[in-house]
Amino acid sequence: MASALRLALRKATPARSAFAATRFASTSAKQSTLKERLAELIPAEIENVKAIRAEHGQKTFGQVTVDQVYGGMRGLPALLWDGSVLDPEEGIRFRGKTIEECQAALPKAPGGSEPLPEGLFWLLLTGEIPTPEQVNQLSKEWAARAALPEFVEEIIDRCPGTLHPMSQFSMAVTALNHDSSFAKAYSEGISKKEYWGHTFEDSMDLIAKLPNIAGRIYQNVYGKGKPAPIDPSKDYSWNLAHVLGFSDNEAFVELMRLYIVIHSDHEGGNVSAHTGKLVGSALSDPFLAFGASLNGLAGPLHGLANQEVLVWLRKMQDKIGSNASDEAVKEYVWSTLKGGQVVPGYGHAVLRKTDPRYTAQRAFALKHLPEDPLFKLVGQVYNIVPDILLEAGKAKNPWPNVDAHSGALLTHYGLHQMQFYTVLFGVSRAFGVAAQLIWDRALGAPLERPKSYSSEAIKKMFANRK
Ligand code: CMX
């Protein structure tokens, strides 16, 4: 009797998430590599998903409105991603951790105080905080995989300097598919169970090669020579700073560590994350999927906004001077709105408060560059824009997003080529997109195929309904 009850209970209770069940696993599995640790976590998570679907599969989230169909699917529950969740009031949490909690918990570089993106990638994939040795091992592995195929270097070198860095970036990433482990294995006929392992290998290559791609684009378009070689004894962010020519500035290296962490992931529904997932669902390899993500990130309403903010601030300075009064700034903001343009860096499709990614960058600026004139202007704009957007009455969120701040920090350290800013966003976003692709293949996520309707069909459907 008792055992029958236990059996019934076991059937009724969904399996615990692999992540919740193994919260402390990094302590017991101290020396596992990331791939080994994932291999341990995946079977339990597959069972967890099966149990959720068995118990809740036929339940509904609620209604879908016609406005949502016309309105960019705002708020439509349609995607699964465990890596990060965005709360409209609080902002992003990576596997349950706020940015501040990540800053406190993730391993740092010797002498550094910002979290290493290597640790964030481990956290996104496993839900666990890695040991410093595990992070160190990832730094080494990425450095070892960093070299670009010669033909990819040639593609970048042949791009005209006038081609936007994001177009060059997406082209180079797409071309890496030439050596995709997943594409090769798929063409040879692998089992579905092996998808995630090859996706993992491609994702590791992808992330590892991004500094060399970004550095080469930067040096070609703005510099004179070729990027400095990757140093296998250094961490990922140091090497990114190095290929750009800024590694002798420790504060800039720290900025890169923070920058990559906060830009890495922002739940599953934003354009770059969702594009990667969508394209990956066709079993396009991670290079093809992330190349598509980058093309979405290059749009001015998404990642290009960090470039747009600086362009907008510089135009403002040209028009009203560098130490303009609040009144003059207000007038400039109104003139932007009256000209039918958006104020870049403000508003968000989900957030309804100041983006904690903005706050994290502000805290960095207060620590490292409190007297910087552009930082002061960013602060002045922050005091002015929200009230104006509220008064204008259109934007649902009048507060700044991540892009309102990043350009001022980069400019401070001498990286003032605004057209390059979204490339750095792209390097960071690879961490979230790659983690999502790996889990999607591990969980057997199917081809995405939502239903579209014509306006005519919608009219007919609701013709006789109130
Ligand atoms: N300035 C002026 N108008 C704005 C505005 C802003 N910053 N933010 C929103 N609005 C307007 C919208 O254009 C929209 O106008 P229409 O009704 O005429 O189309 C109206 O307010 C309602 O929009 P919303 O529901 O508040 O915002 P959305 O979810 O449609 O769009 C976003 C979100 C981010 C695209 C929008 O706020 C915007 O364009 N911001 C400026 C660009 C920007 O900073 N993008 C970066 C976002 C972060 C990132 O992805 O990197």
Q: Is 310 found in the same domain as 175?
A: no
| Ligand 1: lining residues by beta carbon, under 6 Å | 270, 301-303, 305, 337, 342-349, 394-397, 401-403
Instruction: Evaluate whether 395 touches 347 at the Cβ level (below 8 Å).
Output: yes
pLDDT in the model for residue 17: 64
By C-alpha distance, which of 135, 428, 142, 84 is closest to 262? Answer: 428
Distance 136 CA to ligand 1 centre (A): 40
**CATH, residue 344:** 1.10.230.10
Measure the CA angle with vertex 144, ends 252 and 417; round to 5°. Answer: 30
Do residues 125 and 438 lie in contact, with contact meaning Cβ atoms separated by under 8 Å?
Answer: yes
Is-contact 268 262, C-beta < 8 A?
no
Residue type at 365? A
Q: Using DSSP bridges, classify how beta strands 91-94 and 84-87 pair: parallel, antiparallel or unpaired.
A: antiparallel
> Ligand 1 center to residue 342 CA distance, Å?
7
Indicate whether 319 and 214 sit together in one domain. Answer: no
Catalytic residue selected from 198, 242, 302, 405: 302
- Is residue 348 annotated as a catalytic residue, yes or no? yes
**Distance, CA 343 to ligand 1 centroid (Å)?**
8
Q: How far apart are CA 312 and CA 305, in angstroms?
A: 10
DSSP label at residue 94? E
Q: Which of 408, 432, 460 is the last residue of a domain?
A: 408
How many Å apart are CA 64 and CA 118, to the nearest integer? 39
Residues 6+ apart with CB under 8 A from 405: 345, 358, 361, 362, 365, 378
Nearest-CA residue for ligand 1 atom 9 is: 395
Q: Are residues 295 and 316 in the same domain?
A: no
- Among 406, 337, 336, 342, smallest CA distance to 374 is for 406
Torsion of CA 2, 8, 10, 14, to 10 degrees: -150
Enclosing domain of residue 281: 137-303+417-442
Residue with tokens 């740092």: 108
287 and 164: one domain? yes
Domain shared by 374 and 432, yes or no: no
Q: Which of 310, 342, 402 to mutate for ligand 1's pocket (most ligand atoms within 8 Å of CB)? A: 342
CA torsion through residues 28, 29, 30, 34, sign: negative
- Judge whether 263 and 357 are in contact, CB under 8 Å: yes
Q: How far is Cα of residue 187 from the mean position of the Cα atoms in its chain? A: 30
User: Does residue 280 sit within a domain?
Assistant: yes
Same domain, 362 and 341: yes
Q: Give the Å distance between the CA of 4 and the centre of ligand 1.
A: 56
Q: Which residues contact 279 (CB under 8 A, 6 or more apart)?
A: 288, 289, 292, 293
Ligand 1: atom nearest CA of 355 is 48
**Mutation test residue for ligand 1: of 394, 402, 424, the one with most atoms within 8 Å of CB:** 394
Identify the residue whose C-alpha is closest to ligand 1 atom 48: 302
* Complete DSSP assignment for 294-329: HHHHTSTTTTTHHHHHHHHHHHHHHHH-TT--HHHH
d(CA 106, CA 90): 20
Q: Domain for residue 6, yes or no?
A: no
Question: Is the same domain home to 223 and 193?
Answer: yes
Residue 87: phi and psi, rounded to 5, are -95, 130
- Ligand 1 centroid to Cα of residue 162, in Å, is 28
Total domain count, the chain? 2
State how far the Cα of 181 lies from the Cα of 205, in Å rounded to an integer: 10
> DSSP state, 106?
S
For residue 65, the Cα-to-chain-centroid distance in whole angstroms is 29
Catalytic residue among 274, 348, 405, 412: 348
Is 118 inside any structural domain? no
- Within a domain: 247: yes
Q: Which of 366, 389, 408 is the last residue of a domain?
A: 408
Identify whether the C-beta of residue 157 lies closer than 8 Å to the C-beta of residue 301.
no
Q: Is residue 40 part of a domain?
A: no
Residues 225, 366 within the same domain? no
CA of 154 to the centre of ligand 1 (A): 38
Q: Say if 24 falls within a structural domain.
A: no
Concerning whether 405 is annotated as a catalytic residue, the answer is: no
Contacts of 420 (CB under 8 A, 6+ apart): 165, 217, 218, 221, 222
Please tell me which residue in 263, 403, 412, 440 is annotated as part of the active site: 403
Residue 243 contacts residue 211 (beta carbons within 8 Å): yes
Question: From CA 431, how far away is CA 451, in angstroms rounded?
Answer: 30
The answer to whether the beta carbons of residues 197 and 286 sit under 8 Å apart is no
Per-residue pLDDT of the chain (466 residues), as tens digits, is 334 433 343 443 444 566 654 444 444 456 899 999 999 999 999 999 999 999 999 999 999 999 999 999 999 999 999 999 999 999 999 999 999 999 999 999 999 999 999 999 999 999 999 999 999 999 999 999 999 999 999 999 999 999 999 999 999 999 999 999 999 999 999 999 999 999 999 999 999 999 999 999 999 999 878 999 999 999 999 999 999 999 999 999 999 999 999 999 999 999 999 999 999 999 999 999 999 999 999 999 999 999 999 999 999 999 999 899 999 999 999 999 999 999 999 999 999 999 999 999 999 999 999 999 999 999 999 999 999 999 999 999 999 999 999 999 999 999 999 999 999 999 999 999 999 999 999 999 999 999 999 999 999 999 988 7
Whether residue 457 is contained in a domain is answered as: no
Burial 367-392 (b: 16+ CB within 10 A, else e): ebbeebebbbbbbebbebbbebbeee
**Do residue 393 and residue 425 come from a single domain?**
no
Q: What is the pLDDT of residue 450?
A: 97
| 3-state SS class at 97 | strand
Query: Is 168 a domain residue?
Result: yes
Tell me, in angstroms, the distance from the centre of ligand 1 to residue 173's CA: 29
Look up residue 304 and give its two tokens: 């290009």
Does the annotation count 387 as an active-site position? no
Contact between 324 and 374 (Cβ < 8 Å): no
Q: Whose CA is nearest to atom 29 of ligand 1?
A: 349
CATH number, residue 203: 1.10.580.10
- Whether residues 334 and 381 share a domain: the answer is yes
What is the spatial distance between Cα 145 and Cα 172, in angstroms, rounded to a whole number? Answer: 16
Nearest one of 464, 446, 341 to 394, comparing CA atoms:
341
Using the Cα atoms of residue 291, residue 297, residue 300 and residue 301 in order, give the sign of their dihedral. Answer: positive
201 and 229 together in one domain: yes
In a shared domain, residues 163 and 275: yes
User: Would you call 7 helix, strand, or coil by DSSP?
Assistant: helix
Q: Which of 74, 301, 307, 385 has most ligand 1 atoms within 8 Å of its beta carbon, as the pocket-test mutant? A: 301
